């Protein structure tokens, strides 16, 4: 149980285009989803937290107009990198948590999406 998927696993795009990354909780309802960015050999940097049906809360320094987050249902959140530039190239990881029972307070991570902007 508690499986989180991400799609796509890898994406290459041209500078200036937009890329959408999906994060799905496959066997539980995710009341909260988190989006992280990870640089090589570094820890995870939290970008934003989203609760189903409400606007995402962005961390300081993260441009909300550039990284659009939508959490429209209890099993799906999307991150759209708008007008991507080479410096946006990174490994993006989502996680999901639930308020229910034993899953409470635990984050379950997706496998990550490798974005390369040319």
Report the interface residues with another protein, using CB under 8 A: 4, 6, 32, 34, 41-44, 46, 49, 91, 93, 95, 97, 99, 104-112, 114
Using the minimum distance from each CB to another protein, give the nearer residue, 81 or 103: 103
Task: Please report how close the Cβ of residue 102 comes to another protein at its closest, in angstroms.
Answer: 9
Tell me, letter by letter, the H, E, C secondary structure of 31-74.
Answer: CEEEEEEECCCCCEEEEEEEECCCCCEECCCCCCCCEEEEEEEC
d(CA 91, CA 113): 6
Q: How far is the CB of 83 from another protein (least distance, A)?
A: 26
DSSP state of 87: G
Least separation in angstroms between residue 49's CB and another protein is: 7
| Of 66 and 91, CB closest to another protein | 91
Please, which residue, 16 or 55, has the CB nearer to another protein? 55
The DSSP code for 103 is G
Place of tokens 């991400």: 6
């Amino acid at each position: 149980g508690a499986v989180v998927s991400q799609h796509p696993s890898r994406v290459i795009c041209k500078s200036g285009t937009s890329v959408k990354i999906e994060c799905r909780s496959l066997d539980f309802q995710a009341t909260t989803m988190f989006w992280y960015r990870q640089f090589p050999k570094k820890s995870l940097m939290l970008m934003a937290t989203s609760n189903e049906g409400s606007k995402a809360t962005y961390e300081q320094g993260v441009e909300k107009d550039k990284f659009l987050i939508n959490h429209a249902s209890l099993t799906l959140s999307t991150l759209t990198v708008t007008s991507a530039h080479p410096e946006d190239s990174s490994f993006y990881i989502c996680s999901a948590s639930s308020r229910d029972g034993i899953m409470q307070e635990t984050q379950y991570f997706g496998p990550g999406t490798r974005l390369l902007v040319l």
